[in-house]
Structure 1
Amino acid sequence: MSSAMANRSSISNAERYQDIGDYWDHHDATESGEQEPAEFDVNLVSERHYFAIDHELCMRIRILAERRGISDETLVNLFLRERIEEVDRGRRP
């Protein structure tokens, strides 16, 4: 066993990092150790509303979103939020 591996504990009892990877490719953490029940709250309620968007405008949104590396939904929300803030401050385009 290499000196780097000598101080590590391993469920797989592997001697090389490659072997550890191979082990976990075929096993998961539920197969070893004691399993204790876990409790936690998850809030899956997400109120969303959908609006019809003109096809040409939708295509332009998708292109802009892709260029920015974000989803089209995120881009629409960002644009709407910015525009609403402008209106609230009394600005005009």
Structure 2
Amino acid sequence: MKKSKSSVSKASTYAEIGEFWDTHELSTFWDKTKPADFDVAMESEVTYYAMDKKLSEEVQEIAHRRGVSADTLVNMWVQEKLREQKA
């Protein structure tokens, strides 16, 4: 039998751990948790594209109304459009 990757769910794969936490609340198992100390090295790669000033102002206005940054809004729109193109 594979060694358990999780002390709470007793799951042996990361997929099983995900399935477990999709259906369980952390608060139920809080007393079984242990402190963890780890480093995460995340590097985001950013590419910039030129945008017409008027378009940029409109994007910023819509982003403000939605409570997100203009970067986030543009990324969401591009992802949505790419999904449509692949369908």
TM category (shorter chain) comes to 0.5 to 0.7
Any runs of at least 4 consecutive aligned residues in structure 1 with deviations exceeding 6 A, and if so which? none
Please show how residues 10-89 of structure 1 align to structure 2 within 5 Å: 40-89=38-87
Aligned residues: 52
Unmatched tracts of structure 2, length 5 or more: 1-36
Paired AA for residue 73 in structure 1: D
TM (norm. structure 1) is: 0.51
CA drift at 1:42: 2.2
Structure 1's unaligned 5+ residue stretches are: 1-38
Per-residue CA distance 1:23-43 (angstroms, 9 max, x = gap): xxxxxxxxxxxxxxxx63121
Inter-partner Cα distance in structure 2 for 1:87 and 1:48: 22
The CA RMSD measured in Å over matched residues stands at 1.6
How many percent identity over aligned positions? Answer: 39
Q: Deviations over 1:19-76 (max 9, x none)?
A: xxxxxxxxxxxxxxxxxxxx63121311111111111110000000000000000000
